[in-house]
């Protein structure tokens, strides 16, 4: 009886091994293959350089440009964010060009317009796969700790509604009001 149990266990392990070996690389998810942060710790050297905003994905689709087409990628809805970028220097400082917009244009206070970009700077570091940014905005110091999703020449992190309120003054009941989380994606330039 004991030998029968061992034979069944060995046969089961062999079958499982054959199933795992027979899976091709194409069947694996591209997400598990590409994300560097899943395989190794993110270091400061990974982040040094110039990065341009390449995606701003909201948790809900919006129609900011009022063209009857809703999109979760805000870059499809406005050109306000096209100039956003960030540069991480080796000395632990950074400079970022941030877009600004207002929702108080037009008669309904639901229409937005782009404002002049704002240049921010501060200190940065990477600790335990998190990007930590410290910057001063309107005489107030903010520290943001963001878990980094790092891929080859691309990284992203999430921004919550509370954090975005520091940058965008949404009076409520606008096209952007339902957005609670944005994923900002940057590509190395």
Tokens of 105: 């244009």
pTM: predicted TM-score of the whole model, two decimal places: 0.73
Highest mean pLDDT among 17-21, 27-31, 38-42, 90-94: 90-94
Does residue 42 share a domain with residue 23?
A: no
CA distance 142 to 174: 26
Q: Which of 14-28, 40-54, 101-115 has the lowest mean pLDDT?
A: 14-28
Which residues are 113's β-sheet partners?
102
| Residue range(s) defining the domain that contains residue 13 | 2-28
pLDDT tens figures, 142-163 = 898 999 999 989 999 998 888 7
Does residue 145 share a domain with residue 54?
A: yes
Q: Which of 157, 100, 99 is nearest to 124 (CA)?
A: 157
CA distance 122 to 157: 18
Contact 44, 126 (CB under 8 A): yes
Q: What CATH number is attached to the domain comprising 100?
A: 2.40.128.280
């Amino acid at each position: 009886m004991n030998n029968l149990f061992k034979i069944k266990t060995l046969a089961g392990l062999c079958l499982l091994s054959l199933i795992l070996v027979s899976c091709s690389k194409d069947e694996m998810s591209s997400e598990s293959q590409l994300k560097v942060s899943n395989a190794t710790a993110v270091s400061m050297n990974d982040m040094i350089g110039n990065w341009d905003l390449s995606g701003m994905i909201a948790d809900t689709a919006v129609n900011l440009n009022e063209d009857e087409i809703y999109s979760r990628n805000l870059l499809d809805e406005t050109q306000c964010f096209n100039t956003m970028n960030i540069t991480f220097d080796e000395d632990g400082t950074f400079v970022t060009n941030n877009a600004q917009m207002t929702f108080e244009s037009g008669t309904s206070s639901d229409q937005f317009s782009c404002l002049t970009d704002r240049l921010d700077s501060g200190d940065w570091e990477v600790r335990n796969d998190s990007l930590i940014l410290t910057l001063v905005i309107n005489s107030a110091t903010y520290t943001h700790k963001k878990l980094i999703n790092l891929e080859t020449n691309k990284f992203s992190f999430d921004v919550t509604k509370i954090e975005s309120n520091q940058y965008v003054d949404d009076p409520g009941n606008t096209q952007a009001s339902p957005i609670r989380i944005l994923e900002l994606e940057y590509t190395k330039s």
